Each structure stands twice: as C-alpha cells, then as structure tokens.
Structure 1
Amino acid sequence: MASAINFTVAAATDIFDLSPDQSGRVRAEKDPAAIAAIPPGFKFVTPGKFTVAVSPGGPPLATYATDAKTVVGADPDYALAIADSLGLELELVPVAWPDWPLGLVSGKYDAVISNVGVTEQRKEKFDFSTYRQGLHGFFVKADSSIKEIKQPKDAAGLRITVGASTNQERILLKWSDENVKAGLKPIELVYHDDDAARLVALRSGRVDVIVQPHAQLVYIAARDKNIKRVGTLSAGWLERSDVAITTRKGSGLADALTLATNDLIRNGTYAKVLARWQLSEEALPESRTNPPGLPKS
C-alpha cells in the first residue's frame, strides 16, 4: 500500500513544510495509560527510544526534506506523536519498501509506520494498530464539470485512467458491472503505464478522471494547482481498508499503540497531524488492533 512514486520535492511549499527543521510539528503529551499497557519486560531496540522504520516514497506521507537526508511527512509526524505518548525519543530508520518485513521480524526496529495496509496474509506474521484509512482519490481537472463521485452511478460513462492489474482497476470493473446491470453506461477504463502518463491524459482531456492513492494526488493537486478532488474510494471497497502501525507478531506492543492512538484521537492531536498534511479525509473514528484485513488473493 506504500507509495511507489518518487515525487520531485520542488513545489507546494506554500502548503507543505518540507524543510528539515519542521518547526510546525505537532507534539503530544505522555500518555500514562498507554505507557502502562506496554508489556512488562518489553525491550525496545534502543532503551529510551521508539525505533520506527519508514519508507520515504513521496510526500505527503514520507519523503526526504530539502536537505536530502531528513525524512518528513505525515507518517514521521505520526510516529513522533506515538513516541511522545510513550515517553520515548523517536528514532526514524529510512528503509526501502521491500525491506521492512524482514527488518521488523529480525528486530531492527520496534515498529513500521509507513502506510502499511492491513491484510489477512500480513496478519499471519505481524500485529497491527490502525491509524488511517486506506483511500484512493478521484481527481479531475480543476475546471471539470464533474462535481462528485461517491458511488458507481456517479462514474457511469466516464473515462477513468488506471494502471493494469491494480486495486483501482479491480474495484472500478465491479463498479462498471453494477452500472450495466442497472441500465447505466459502463465506465471506460483507459490504461497507462505510469503515473506521469495518467496525469498527462487527464490534463489533455483524453480522460475525465484519474484514480490513484489519495495522498499522492493530494500532493500533486497542491503542487500543480490544476486538478481537484471529487471523491474518495476505500481501497477495500465494499469494506473499509485501514493502514496501521505494524509490529512483530505476539510482541505485545500493539495494544499499547492502539490505546495511544485512540487517546490521540480523543484529545485532538491526531486530527492536527492529519490536517498538517492535508489528509483529514483519511481520519479514522477509532484505532483497532488486528481488525479484518484485505482477504488473501
């Protein structure tokens, strides 16, 4: 579920702070209940620190700052809020996306906070504490007459660009089938090999809508100022699909992290972190430990 795009960090500075100092970061207070929920005898990788792996795939979730070495974004900010809650210092470890599972199992870090989606297959090896919804975004040209896409009938007859064999394609094919059964026009899926080609197709009018992971498009919209959001789509449609703090299976840390997240939701810190990165649409009403995940394919 991690971003596969390496965006050029060169714009949108009027909305997103990509500086290394991060003076506007949201901090949290110690959470005595969450601290008490840490299992007796649990040993953090480094005493006094919460060591978290993150994959800098692109803003606004996680990217390198303008100094090309500091990792900033919504996931690093959330990791900091959790570390604060646990009374620990945050130690961020940048990793390549394919490397986090082995690194977590082998004990290189205490947790992964990097847009990891909850799946039934991953639950066999890891524990999860959910902290955001996994959303795709429907975006159109800024001057498009399309106002809203919330359900299959809203997309009837539209030309939508997707990548082949993606989750977005899977869902939209089902939407199109529903429309046809209801006597509406099918959705015309237009395939492009990469994200740049999809954006060019949208801006040139060859397609009406682009569907990609929501956070990616939020940043592009802020950067380019020529596309806008008209809806979101759960990555697990019909069910909600969440992303989660990921920990070693059976380590016992997940319940404490879930408790910390719910306290951050209640006291408003959680909302401030998401709002800072324009991701309020992805907020959860509550965190859950090991909820149902996407089924095995």
Structure 2
Amino acid sequence: MPTLHFRVRIIRTLTATTALVLLAGGLAACGGDSSASTATGAGPSSSGTVTVGSLSNGAAQETTLKVPEVKAISAGLPKDIAAKGELVIGLGALPAGFPPLAYVGSDQKTLTGAEPDLGRLVAAVLGLKPVVKNSTWENLFVGIDSGKVDVAFSNVTDTEERKRTYEFASYRQDNLAFEVLKDSTWNFADDYRTLAGKTVAVGAGTNQEKILLEWRKKLQGEGKKLTVKYFPDNNSTYLALTGKKIDAYFGPNPGISYHITQDATTPNPTRNAGKYSGAGASLQGLIAATAKKDSGLAKPVAAAINHLIDNGQYAKWLSAWNLSNEAVATSEVNPPGLPLDNS
C-alpha cells in the first residue's frame, strides 16, 4: 500500500462565539451521513507531511510533521478498510462545534480542531486517505452502527456501557479543570478541601456539577462552605470571573484550554488552576477512538497512536492545541471505562 501524503493546515482561528455561529450556519446535518470537508486545507500532497497547528490567541501557528505509512501497522487493518484505501473519520460536531476539538475554520466550511487532526495523523500512519464526516452527536453513532463511519475521533468517553456496542483505542485523558484569573494564587491541588471558602461557577446538569456538589456536601460535613453559582452562558460566567464575583469556573479541560489561549493578551487573562478526572477520584477517564465492536479497527488505530507517541509526534499534536495536560502514556485497546452505574 503506497504512502499517502497530505497536508492538514490549521487555519487562523476565530473567537469561540464566531466559530460556533459559523459552524451552525455553514455545515448541514443529514442523518449519520452528513459530510464536512475531507481535509482541512489541502488534500493529498507530495510533501509527505501532515501539518497540525496551535491556537495562539487567534493566530495560526503550524507544526509540520513527516508521517509516512508504517506498513507493519497498516498490515493489521481489516481487509475491507485496506481495500477501499480510505479511513472515514466521524465527528459529532453539529450544530455548534466544540473548540478546540472540532469547529469550523475561517473559510466558514472546513472543519478544524484537535480531533480531526489526530484522525488524519492516524490515517497517515495507516496509509489511508482521511475522509471526515460531520454530524450531530446522536447521528455519529448511527453512522458507526451503519458502517458509514469507520472510526470516530469526537471526544467520546470510554464507558463500560458503550463497550457493549463499540471498541475503543484511547488517546486522551478525559479531564475537567478549574479556570481562574491569571493573577489568582489559588490552585486546586487535586484536593476538594482547597475549595473551602471559594465561590465556583459550574454548568447545570453536567458531570462537573455532580462532582462539585458532592464536594460541597463533604465540606458542609466538615463545617466548611463552598458556594456554587450558575450562569446562563459562558459569556456571563467569564464576566463574573473577570469581575471577581466568582473565584473559579469548573468545566471541561479542552474548552478551558481554548479560552485561556484566546484570552491570553486581554486585560484579564486566565490560567488553569488544576485538573480532575471526569470519571472521578477512583478512575482516570479516557477519550478514545470509537469503532463498531468486532470491526478489528481498534487494534491498528491504537498501534498507530502508539507509533505517534513513540516518535514524539503525539506530544507535538497535543502541544499544538494546548492540551498537553491530557496526554496518555500509551493507547490501550478497550481499557477500563466508566462503570455501568456511571456510564
């Protein structure tokens, strides 16, 4: 199988709000078969490289990586995937997208983000042409079930419930984080007791709210106070943070990393004050590439990711998207996931 050469360009980024509007208006969903651009920037090229880029307060910053096919890994592909010569990568980013993981570029139609970038890197190692299909979250799984999508790179958490239907190759930690003003001296330090006396904003009905309320209950039992506040949207939350009406915002680590990067040169820059596993204290949650159970794809995809880890390109990909604090030491096939009572 010949080595495929293609270029993935991270386009000058948008503010989070603009990106959401453009993605909602610029890409149309159609069941599990809605298709975004097959590549961000150019398609196959003769350079033998994949270019990934970082968010740097809205400016494009690219890292070029040489990613030839590794035949010892591509030899393990299922015969039907190898025969068609392409890897259909599923994203569940409609209608709004989720920067920095998957969202629309400045051309108002092409998907960019950490998730499609990794999918294309993996496709390169496997010697396959990447074809990115975008849909709603629900239709992402319809696409996998129907065979219209080979593998999802879409911030899917590994759970024991999902293992009944899908197989996984892990590639990122599933983390929550605390965002504070850059001049704040407070850090979470992986200890709920550090939240005593603090006022923290969180999204209602979220996994992080559940965790935060459990911590509040523990602190109340110790005679200490944690104030939890809710706001209708992110803009209101960040206005409260810059106005010092709250001490911290507790939310998904990728979104916080994106906001920190976008806010870096404003009068009120923020920083990450500590992360926490989305699965809770007893298990490190994992984000994983997701394929149909018994498809035979998880093993070669994990091998491709481990190749990228071993040669340092995985670390460069994470760094490009300011997600180094979600690195895994190795990609595992079907690692322990969220238990059935917390899936």
> Fold conserved (TM > 0.5)?
yes
* Counterpart-to-counterpart distance in 1, 2:76 and 2:189: 42
Quote how far apart the aligned CAs of 1:17 are.
5.5
**Residue type at the aligned position of 2:205:** S
Answer 1 or 2: higher relative contact order, Cα 8 Å, separation at least 6.
1
Query: Match of 1:136?
Result: 176
**Residue type at the aligned position of 1:146:** W
Alignment of 1:284-295 (within 5 A): 284-295=328-339
Tell me if structure 1 keeps the 8 A contact 2:165–2:292: yes
Match of 2:236 among 193, 197, 219: 197
Query: Match of 1:234?
Result: 277
Query: Match of 1:42?
Result: 80
* Counterpart-to-counterpart distance in 2, 1:6 and 1:209: 20
State whether structure 2 residue 316 is matched by structure 1 residue 272: yes
Query: Match of 1:185?
Result: 224
Quote how far apart the aligned CAs of 1:73 are.
1.2
Deviations 1:114-159 (A, max 9, x none): 1111112211111110000111110111222324442112212211
In structure 1, stretches of 5+ residues that fail to align are none
Tell me if structure 1 keeps the 8 A contact 2:188–2:195: no
Alignment of 1:64-83 (within 5 A): 64-83=104-123
Query: Match of 1:29?
Result: 68
* Counterpart-to-counterpart distance in 2, 1:66 and 1:104: 29
Query: Match of 2:149?
Result: 109
Tell me if structure 1 keeps the 8 A contact 2:157–2:288: yes
CA spacing shift, 1:213–1:184, aligned 2, 3 Å: same
Query: Match of 1:52?
Result: 89
* Counterpart-to-counterpart distance in 1, 2:67 and 2:293: 27
Quote how far apart the aligned CAs of 1:244 are.
0.5
Q: How many residues align?
A: 286
Query: Match of 1:213?
Result: 252
**Residue type at the aligned position of 2:81:** K
SS in 1 for 2:179: strand
TM-score, normalised on structure 2?
0.77
* Counterpart-to-counterpart distance in 2, 1:132 and 1:147: 23
* Counterpart-to-counterpart distance in 1, 2:65 and 2:200: 37
Tell me if structure 2 keeps the 8 A contact 1:62–1:72: yes
Quote how far apart the aligned CAs of 1:205 are.
1.4
In structure 2, stretches of 5+ residues that fail to align are 1-14, 21-53
% identical equivalent positions: 34
* Counterpart-to-counterpart distance in 2, 1:27 and 1:186: 53
CA spacing shift, 1:142–1:191, aligned 2, 3 Å: same
* Counterpart-to-counterpart distance in 1, 2:62 and 2:187: 36
Query: Match of 1:171?
Result: 211
SS in 2 for 1:120: coil
SS in 2 for 1:55: strand
* Counterpart-to-counterpart distance in 1, 2:99 and 2:220: 37
**Residue type at the aligned position of 2:199:** R
Match of 1:250 among 294, 302, 317: 294
Deviations 1:217-276 (A, max 9, x none): 111111123211111111001110001100011111111111111121111111111111
Quote how far apart the aligned CAs of 1:15 are.
4.8
Tell me if structure 2 keeps the 8 A contact 1:26–1:77: no
* Counterpart-to-counterpart distance in 2, 1:16 and 1:84: 27
